[in-house]
Amino acid sequence: MVKNVFKKIYTFLIFLFLYAPIIVLIVFSFNESKSRAHWTGFTFKWYVEMFKDQQIMTSLYNTVTIALIASIFATVLGTAAAIGIHHMKKTPKTIMTNLTYLPVLNPDIVTGISLMLLFILVKFPRGFFSMLLAHITFNLPYVILSVMPKLKQLDNHVYDAALDLGATPAYAFWKVILPQIAPGIFTGFLLAMTMSIDDFVISFFTTGPGVSNLAITIYSMARKGISPKINAVLSILFAGVILMLLIINNRMSRDDGRKENVA
Amino acid sequence: MKKHLMAYPYALWMLIFTMIPLALILFYSVFAIDDAGIHFTLDNFKRVFEPLYLAVFWRSIKLAAESTIICLVLGYPMAMILAGKNLSKKSILVVLFVIPMWMNFLARTYAWMTLLEKNGLIATIAGFFGIDLPSLLYTEGAVVLGMVYNFLPFMVLPIYSVLVKIDKTVVEAAEDLGANPITVFRRVIFPLSIPGVSSGITMVFMPALTTFVISRLLGGAHFTLIGNLIEQQFLTTMDWGFGSALSIVLMLMIMLSMGVTMRYEKENEGGGLW
């Protein structure tokens, strides 16, 4: 009994530690005055000001468009790559799989700097497009690592059966393989989206003057001082991410359910 | 249709955007370019071992190690509690535990800035009780706190995913044979959870070692870590050679620590973060 109470208190304290800063952040985005310690009244004015702030709006636009384009591109290229790697012989397969892990394990700062050096050296103008290329690069492994397990679960006989029944390889691919690996592709896409929206370090090094995503804007604002406008942006961003998390979670649990049905 | 060909565009992409950039870092670290042309040099690596920079490395390792130990001490009991819950409660708690991780990394660090600053909430609350707190922001403690806050889930999740897989009958067998709870933990549960612990340690230690954001925002200019030093070389002093050498040393350190912990991770690839 005493042990259970202790467990509850411990869980409560850890969750308090994890959530308190976020809750404080959200609560003070509705605070009338600029103070982060004294509650002076409820207001939406920081949200209004946030929408009027050109810099915040442009960086929000950059964040969303880069995340969307980069994850769509990475999903297509990554899915093709996963299928290709899956059909490789043992040695090239091992090499490619290890190569895929490299950007995941490499420190962000090294990835960012190495890409920056590349862009400078080939005189590729740094800005929106360099950032987009960098995002595609670090998104690719997440797509591949989500699709690969689905390919391993595939029953190759079904594909063969489709061919025996007269389907062309392309038709069999669209009608048999793709629907089966679709959950992995979708998970990879959403994972890529979230990584892209969350990224600061790699974007910071690969972008040029004047072009920033939300994380970079928050960083430069936070270094200058604190503004409730940032709280407002972050609250909205957090709400968006929670929504996406709910979709992913829903997706994954449905997926698990399907697996159980098969078994 | 030769399906393996489908991986070629990706292979080309990786060559251009991963392999060549890394090769560039290696190149700049050992070659100096001046009026006389390009020549080989180890000066950049020699500079890394100057006392001034060794101190930065030492501080980074110390702060990362401190945060890793705190994460382990705080996280292990949490992982045990999560693993001990019944199924429906368990999944809700795990999701609740992961949610803060989905808030932007910068946002989480920024949130602590507003809590710790001189007129922040913590100082104000302490003020109500007549306690005059010293400045909390821009201290070593603030940097460690930021690391623990950001990386705690990376410790808990791998340990949790190993603990839930432990065969309950093994624990029961130990109890039947007369082991008290402490012995069961020391001789059965903990040894079985080593793969999770080691991947947790890697997953906290590595980002803590390489961060430059947490140290900049919560430590101000006082706590230069390896990450900050590398950032300075590329964005302020423009010393690419030295910056590249630092990056190479950092990568080697990461690989070394991975190599040490990998030994324990055979059956637990990736530690269940996927």
Q: Write down all domains in chain A, each with its CATH number in brackets.
A: 49-262 (1.10.3720.10)
B268/B102: higher pLDDT: B102
- Could you tell me the two tokens for A81? 């790559």
Considering the domain architecture, whether residues B7 and B121 belong to the same structural domain is answered as no
Are A201 and A109 within 8 A, CB to CB? yes
User: A-chain residues within 8 Å CB-CB of B8?
Assistant: 84
Angle of helix A2-27 versus helix B87-98 axis, rounded to 10: 30
Considering the domain architecture, whether residues B214 and B97 belong to the same structural domain is answered as yes
Are A196 and A69 within 8 A, CB to CB? no
The number of folded domains in chain B is 2
User: A-chain residues within 8 Å CB-CB of B104?
Assistant: 197-198, 200, 214-215, 218, 234, 237-238, 241
Average pLDDT of chain B to the nearest whole number? 87
pLDDT for res A263: 38
pLDDT for res A256: 58
**Quick check: is B46 in a domain?**
no
| A77 to B104: CB separation less than 8 angstroms, yes or no | no
Considering the domain architecture, whether residues B30 and B74 belong to the same structural domain is answered as no
pLDDT for res A258: 53
Angle of helix A228-262 versus helix A45-52 axis, rounded to 10: 90
Assign A1 a pLDDT band (cuts: 50, 70, 90).
low
Considering the domain architecture, whether residues B89 and B36 belong to the same structural domain is answered as no
Are B200 and B154 within 8 A, CB to CB? yes
Considering the domain architecture, whether residues B34 and B90 belong to the same structural domain is answered as no
Are A105 and B254 within 8 A, CB to CB? yes
pLDDT for res A261: 47
State what percent of residues in chain B have pLDDT above 90: 48
- Residue whose C-alpha is closest to residue B196's, from B83, B95, B97, B53: B83
**Quick check: is B47 in a domain?**
no
Q: Which residue is closest to B1 within chain A, CA to CA?
A: A169
Residues 6 or more apart whose Cβ sits within 8 Å of residue A92: B4
- Separation between Cα atoms, residue A198 and residue A211, nearest integer Å: 17
Considering the domain architecture, whether residues B76 and B205 belong to the same structural domain is answered as yes
**Quick check: is B155 in a domain?**
yes
Are B224 and B60 within 8 A, CB to CB? no
| A223 and B CB contact within 8 Å | yes
Find the mean pLDDT for residues B13-18: 94
pLDDT for res A254: 66
Widest distance between CA atoms in chain A: 74
| A37 to B119: CB separation less than 8 angstroms, yes or no | yes
Considering the domain architecture, whether residues B32 and B63 belong to the same structural domain is answered as no
In this prediction, the answer to ipTM > 0.90 reads: no
**Quick check: is B146 in a domain?**
yes
- Separation between Cα atoms, residue A88 and residue A94, nearest integer Å: 9
* CATH code of the domain in which B208 resides: 1.10.3720.10
> pLDDT tens digits for A121-166?
999 999 999 999 999 999 999 999 999 988 988 888 888 899 999 8
**Quick check: is B204 in a domain?**
yes
> pLDDT tens digits for A35-46?
777 788 888 888
Residue B192 class from Cβ within 10 Å (0-12 exposed, 13-18 middle, 19+ buried)? middle
Chain centroid to CA B178 = 39
Of A19, A118, A219, the CB nearest to B21: A118
N residues, chain B? 274
> pLDDT tens digits for B47-71?
999 999 999 999 999 999 999 999 9
Residue B18 pLDDT more than 90?
yes
Assign B274 a pLDDT band (cuts: 50, 70, 90).
very low
Sole residue written with tokens 């595939």: A154
Residues of the domain holding B27: 1-41
